[in-house]
Amino acid sequence: MIEPNNSILSIGQQCKLLSISRSSFYYTAKGETAQNLDLMRRIDEQFLETPFFGVRQMTWHLRNDGHLVNEKRIRRLMRLMGLMPIYQKPNTSRPAKGHKTHPYLLRGLRVERPNQVWCSDITYLPMRRGFLYLVAIMDWHTRKVLAWRISNTLEADFCVEALNEAIHKFGPPEIMNTPSRDIRFANALPGNGSRISVHVLRLDRPAPPIRRAHLNGWEGPLLRQHLH
């Protein structure tokens, strides 16, 4: 923004107009010291062996190797290197204490044909900055992803679009099974502005293993096929 060769305004005048100090114009950023570069190399080598090491574990490891470092320094270097440890995420699927639960209405039902039962799921995709949200509509019998959408917000619109697309392609199902605790998808269901008329069975507690088996792992093949 500052033009050193400007014949009308001096560098000082330009800095004053931009409300910055003149010294900041002449400042040259310093690179990392040789010691920090060596620490970064050691952090990188250890992180390849133990990608679950966070700042605290990495600091302990380097201290055990004889390096006098603190967590603040290691946090800055790991952030500079873009290293994010792998760790178990909190379980956000458990209902709050005192939350009303309902019986699982599909227990004992034999799913024997396409379009008999559909289910839905919403998952998040961690990005470098923030998240993207992926919704999918699946057929329980064929285990096929009928429609899906990606959004950068948790508004109900992309759920409605995915559900409408599945209905348009395959016709309405006999039963649409979706968690009622997921308010984003509930907004896409009958009675909330959707043109779709299907029977909804809602579940307010963790699904039985057979249902989770239908849902778990669906996003991997979908992402590999369409997003990578």
pLDDT tens by residue, 76-89: 999 988 888 877 76
Alpha-carbon distance 104 to 90, whole Å? 24
Which among 128, 182, 191 has a CA at the least distance from the CA of 159?
Answer: 182
Which among 168, 179, 177, 171 has a CA at the least distance from the CA of 199?
Answer: 177
Q: Is the pLDDT of residue 167 over 70?
A: yes
Q: Is the pLDDT of residue 123 over 70?
A: yes
Indicate whether 57 and 151 sit together in one domain: no
Alpha-carbon distance 49 to 44, whole Å? 9
Indicate whether 192 and 122 sit together in one domain: yes
For the chain, what is the domain count?
3
Q: Is the pLDDT of residue 75 over 90?
A: yes
Q: Which two tokens stand for residue 31?
A: 């690179």
Main-chain dihedrals φ then ψ at residue 205, nearest 5 degrees: -145, 165
Is residue 83 in some structural domain? yes
Indicate whether 222 and 122 sit together in one domain: yes
Contacts of 150 (CB under 8 A, 6+ apart): 125, 132, 133, 134, 158
pLDDT tens by residue, 22-36: 787 776 767 788 899
Alpha-carbon distance 198 to 176, whole Å? 6
Which pTM does this prediction carry?
Answer: 0.48
> Span 177-184, mean pLDDT?
58
Is residue 63 in some structural domain? yes
Question: Helix count (H) and strand count (E) of the chain?
Answer: 9, 5
Partners of residue 121 on adjacent β-strands:
136
Q: Is the pLDDT of residue 48 over 90?
A: no
Indicate whether 221 and 125 sit together in one domain: yes
Indicate whether 38 and 83 sit together in one domain: yes
Segments forming the whole domain that contains residue 213: 117-226
Is residue 191 in some structural domain? yes
Report the mean per-residue pLDDT for the chain: 76
Indicate whether 220 and 125 sit together in one domain: yes
What is the pLDDT, as a whole number, of residue 183? 52
pLDDT tens by residue, 134-150: 888 999 888 889 999 99
Is residue 142 in some structural domain? yes
**215 and 207 Cβ atoms separated by less than 8 Å:** yes
Indicate whether 77 and 157 sit together in one domain: no
Indicate whether 140 and 213 sit together in one domain: yes
Q: Is the pLDDT of residue 121 over 60?
A: yes
